[in-house]
Structures are given as structure tokens and as C-alpha cells.
Amino acid sequence: MFDWVKVETDEQIKELCELAKKIWNEYSICFISQEQIDYMLEKFQSEQVVKSQINFERYQYYFLEEDGENFGYFAIQPKKDYLFLSKIYIDKDHRGKGYGKKAFINAIVEIAKERELPAIQLTVNKYNFAAFCAYEKLGFKRIDSVEADIGNGYIMDDYIYEFRL
């Protein structure tokens, strides 16, 4: 059995960023370049950025933890009419075992319900076939697409998915 643990301390943030680096480098290389991974880790998952997201942008980060080991994480951000699932990542040794689905059903959906938000939205890279198939299997519907210039010549080319509660 696993649990989710809210990330709150500087030490936890540091551990989260190290875990992000590990997971992004073992997974994202399938559909984006190493240079883009390095850039995005610095821009979106550095300690300074995560602290700012938590302190000023209403993000909440949670570790996925089993037997004292953090093997994944997710980040949410409440919006006016939905809960934004910003990130959900699981290390390669724990993928394909239902942890993402359980985290979604047991934690993320419950958080949205507690906040009386009628939907959960997320974005997923258009070339991350495994991820958007998994989201569709959970009941997410593709509602739009978006291209965002994230700097340094990189474009995030994503689908927007929504899960209605």
C-alpha cells in the first residue's frame, strides 16, 4: 500500500527536485531532447521555482510514498472552475502497477471534491502516447490543444484533457 505525503519543507522540496530529475531523464527522453529536459527541469522543477509555486501560485506538491520511499509525485493547482493537475510522475520501477490510477482516484479526485471543483484538467505532450492513452482510460476527454512558447526556442505542444466529476 502506498500513501501521498504533502511536500512542505525545504528538505522535501530538494528531494522532490532530485526525484523529478531522475524521473524526467528516464522517461521524457522518449519524446523530447535531453537539452529540452534540462531546460524544463530548471524552468519548472528547480528548488527555487517549486518554492515559488507553493508560496505564491497556490500549488500543492505530494510525494507518492511506499515503505518510506518516495517513488513519484504529483502537483495540483486550484483554479476558479477546476483543479489543474500540473504534474504526475512515477519512477520506472513503479510504473505500470496502477499507482497513478490509485493516486488519481484516491487523492486527486478527493481533493477536487473537497474544494467543490467540478472538473480536473491537465495538459499532456502530444507525442506522449502512453500518457494520453492512460488518461483516456481513466475517463479524461480531450477538450483542446495548446502550444506554449517556454523560451530558449522550445514549444510545449500539448493536448488539454478534462475529467468531469
Confidence of residue 117 (pLDDT cuts 50, 70, 90): very high
pLDDT score recorded for residue 1: 79
pLDDT in tens, 16-71: 999 999 999 988 777 888 999 999 999 999 999 999 999 999 999 999 999 999 99
**All structural domains of the chain:** 3-164 (3.40.630.30)
pLDDT score recorded for residue 151: 95
pLDDT score recorded for residue 32: 87
User: CA-CA distance, 111 to 14, in Å (whole number)?
Assistant: 24
Q: Please, what's the b/e burial string for 91-116 (b: 16 or more CB within 10 A of its CB; e: otherwise)? A: beebbeeebbeebbeebbbebbeeee
User: CA-CA distance, 159 to 127, in Å (whole number)?
Assistant: 10
User: CA-CA distance, 154 to 103, in Å (whole number)?
Assistant: 30
- E strand segments, the chain: 3-6, 60-66, 69-78, 83-90, 119-125, 141-151, 154-164
Q: Do residues 106 and 1 lie in contact, with contact meaning Cβ atoms separated by under 8 Å? A: no
The pTM of the full predicted model, rounded to 2 decimals, is: 0.94
Which of 24-33, 113-122, 143-152 is least confident? Answer: 24-33
User: CA-CA distance, 123 to 161, in Å (whole number)?
Assistant: 6
Confidence of residue 155 (pLDDT cuts 50, 70, 90): very high
Q: Do residues 158 and 146 lie in contact, with contact meaning Cβ atoms separated by under 8 Å? A: yes
Which of 30-34, 111-115, 150-154 is least confident? Answer: 30-34
Torsion of CA 54, 154, 72, 8, to 10 degrees: -10
Report the candidate in 156, 131, 129, 130 with the shortest Cα–Cα distance to residue 145: 156
Largest interatomic CA distance in the chain: 42
Of residues 60 and 96, more confidence is placed in 60
User: CA-CA distance, 61 to 163, in Å (whole number)?
Assistant: 20
A 10 A CB-CB count for 90 gives 19
